[in-house]
Amino acid sequence: MRRQDDLDPPADDPAPEASTPDAPAPEPPAPEPPAPEPPAPEPPAPDEVLPGENPEDSTTVASTTESPLKAAPETFYVPIYVLTAIFGAIFIIGPLVVRKGPNRGIARCCIMISSFCMWIFWTTLYISQMNPLMGPRLHNATLAWIGHKWGKDPKSLISPEEL
């Protein structure tokens, strides 16, 4: 009787088909060529008339954008940056100029808290100017009634456009 080891070839030996000299070596698969890039659109010539433009208008500018240009949103960050830097400098440099003494720690703490509180107060006032949440919000009819009771004709008042 044969043993199992005689039937299976050892794992280190190559397969009998690959060991024959007549068998060609298997070729690795060919790499796929890269996909061609789509051509870039050419910009219009300076004197070319785009759809929707008036050819007689000499002030038109050629544009490749599809949507109209939008105005940049108004941002008012410069005052916030400047005053934050000022109050930050007071917060950092102020405690360094306190003289030595028994209450040095208290003086430093007071300077830092004062600087922070002034910054918070200023920031709150600045932001509240952007969107007033406090104070009366009256309808035009209410304002006209108040003006009538005070003896002022609403038509005699100057509109903001006339100023």
Quick check: is 160 in a domain? no
Domain membership of residue 92 as a residue range: 76-132
Alpha carbon distance 17, 116 (integer Å): 85
Quick check: is 120 in a domain? yes
Q: Is the pTM of this model over 0.95?
A: no
Quick check: is 113 in a domain? yes
Closest CA to 136 of 126, 127, 146: 146
Which residues touch 55 (CB under 8 Å, ≥6 apart)?
A: 49
Q: How many domains does the chain have?
A: 1
Quick check: is 80 in a domain? yes
pLDDT tens per residue across span 128-145: 877 766 666 777 788 778
pLDDT tens per residue across span 20-66: 556 666 677 777 777 777 776 666 565 555 565 555 655 555 556 56
Largest CA distance in the chain: 128
Quick check: is 47 in a domain? no
User: Any idea what DSSP says for residue 65?
Assistant: -
Quick check: is 115 in a domain? yes
Quick check: is 68 in a domain? no
